[in-house]
Chain A
Amino acid sequence: MLDLLQYEFIRNAVIAGLLAAVACGLIGSYVVVKRLVSVSGGIAHASFGGIGLGYLLGFNPVTGALVFSLGAALLMGTLTRRTRLSEDASIGILWATGMALGVIFIGLAPGYAPDLFSYLFGSILTVPTSDIWMMLVLDAIILVVVALFYKEFSALSFDEEFSRVVGVPTLFLNLVLLCLIALTVVILIRVVGIVLVIALVTIPASIAFQLTRSLKKMMLVSSSFGAVFTTSGLWLSYELDLASGATIILVSAFFLAATMGWLKIRRIRQKA
């Protein structure tokens, strides 16, 4: 595999995978322990509207996705508080509305949208260097914000009501966390695509959740697993000529099943 690294597109793909793993480890851990999986799915799909707008107006679709996913995150955080809509309903509404906007925008755009499929299902082998820089900046933002609010985010995820009682600004921090999920979505779009984003947010963190008993370790372990999955999935897809995003997800799912099987066997052995 090492000789493959002489190609720039392979190097970019590996770097993109590693950058994605950092975001998955940090934010995926919160998504799993705070049960934000559907919210994340909603934010990811709503971002498709921004991709479409990018095609229509001729700017980088990833920038459009960034704006739309942040907008969806803020709307999801406030709709439930300000209206009588349930969280569940607002997720579904934003999810489908964002997708619909994307379809309309692309339809209005002149000509054929050639790499549309890559935004939906990922295309790690075609990540341009400019997007690598953007992913690096977004990762840095996530890292800094999580470091700044680590104790509050942990408390909020564990027991929101108590956090509010002792004076944590829970409304504000919930919105910040949703925005970090939006940034994570944007980082992952290039790697696995809008449709498969939730898998990479959830699977490494779910494996780590079963193996660790502290949030910091969980973040570290899920980042490491994320790195293993993106690189091994990339290699496998290259060798077998399969779609890269889907291969990364299937490798992850296989490891999750293997971990659960191994834990089950260990538990049975301990009892015996």
Chain B
Amino acid sequence: MSSVASLNNVWVNYNGFTALEDVSLSIEEQDFVGIIGPNGGGKSTLLKTMLGLIEPSRGNVEILGMAPRKASRQVGYVAQFQNFDRHFPINVWEVVLMGRLGHAGLLKGYSTQDRDAAREALEKVEMAGCKNRHISQLSGGQQQRVLIARALATRPKLLLLDEPMSNVDSAMQKGFYELLSELNRQMAIVMVSHDISAVSQYVKKVACLNRKLYYHGTGQLTTEDLEATYQCPVELIAHGAPHRVLKDHPR
């Protein structure tokens, strides 16, 4: 197995504030890593550092064997908030095609290959039927599917998701996680979330982040990790199948 992403002793400082402290992380092919931690713990910063949107102050980041800025057009990214105007004059198809901008290049139109990749991505998230709809005509969950399709249109080897369930109502979340498990056969996924219980059922490995990263490369969390992350006693609730994420522990 080759490494899809590796971070070695990465520090990120902004205006004298340390957002990430000595973070090391290695993501392999087929990995599905959940990163949990409190708000302001640096989860989004970590993803943005992996995308090259934020330069680390120290340490080294390599994505697909390249500098993050170079690799980022082969990385799928779904940001935390849908920080765009719902009434923006754009339809589903145009949004998904955005994923191909880096491949199409400047001063050229989208090629047949670009259109094929966008169509394929829409089919994967089961939104091909909504191709010509305006974005305001979609539910929150459908919008999220379109944004995942846009990320998939890059034909990524690594998919980075920042709180992907925040706009998806709980009844739809199961279907979403199943979609992600399906996608995980073809690409490594890193998902940031504050929802520990949901993460633990579907991901293969869990890391805790609160400035420092607590990660053992397994799906198991320890009480010590969680307490260090949240800096308060955390009560663990063990889930049953499909994964047992938490060790047996005294109740």
Give A contacts to B, CB under 8 Å.
33, 148-149, 151-152, 154-155, 157-159, 161-169, 209, 212-215, 217-218
B205 on interface, CB distance cutoff 8 Å: no
Assuming A167-B102, A214-B90, A218-B89, is B51 touching A158 (CB within 8 A)? no
Alpha-carbon distance between A97 and B99 when the two chains are bound, in angstroms: 41
Give B contacts to A, CB under 8 Å.
51-53, 72-73, 75, 77, 79, 83-85, 87-91, 94-95, 97-102, 104, 106-107, 109-110, 134, 150, 154
Closest chain-B Cβ to A68's Cβ sits at a distance in Å of 29
Which A residues touch B53, using CB under 8 A? 161, 164-165
B84–A158 touching, CB < 8 Å: yes
10 contacts between A and B (CB under 8 A): A33-B88, A151-B110, A162-B77, A163-B101, A165-B51, A167-B102, A209-B87, A214-B89, A214-B91, A217-B89
Assuming A166-B73, A217-B89, is B84 touching A152 (CB within 8 A)? no
Closest chain-B Cβ to A144's Cβ sits at a distance in Å of 11
B79–A213 touching, CB < 8 Å: no
Chain A residue nearest to B51 in the complex (CB) = A165
Which B residues touch A169, using CB under 8 A? 106
Closest chain-A Cβ to B47's Cβ sits at a distance in Å of 10
Alpha-carbon distance between A33 and B101 when the two chains are bound, in angstroms: 20
B89–A165 touching, CB < 8 Å: no
A168–B102 touching, CB < 8 Å: yes
A152–B99 touching, CB < 8 Å: no
B107–A213 touching, CB < 8 Å: no
Which of B52, B89, B98, B102 interacts with A159 by CB under 8 Å?
B98
Closest chain-B Cβ to A119's Cβ sits at a distance in Å of 34
Closest chain-B Cβ to A133's Cβ sits at a distance in Å of 28
Alpha-carbon distance between A263 and B97 when the two chains are bound, in angstroms: 31
Chain B residue nearest to A172 in the complex (CB) = B106
A152–B102 touching, CB < 8 Å: no
Alpha-carbon distance between A1 and B102 when the two chains are bound, in angstroms: 52
Residue in B51, B79, B88, B97 with the greatest tally of chain A CB atoms within 10 Å: B88
A213–B89 touching, CB < 8 Å: yes
Q: A157-B88, A162-B77 are in contact. List 11 more A-B contacts (CB 8 A).
A: A33-B85, A33-B89, A148-B107, A155-B101, A159-B84, A159-B98, A165-B75, A166-B101, A209-B89, A213-B134, A214-B94
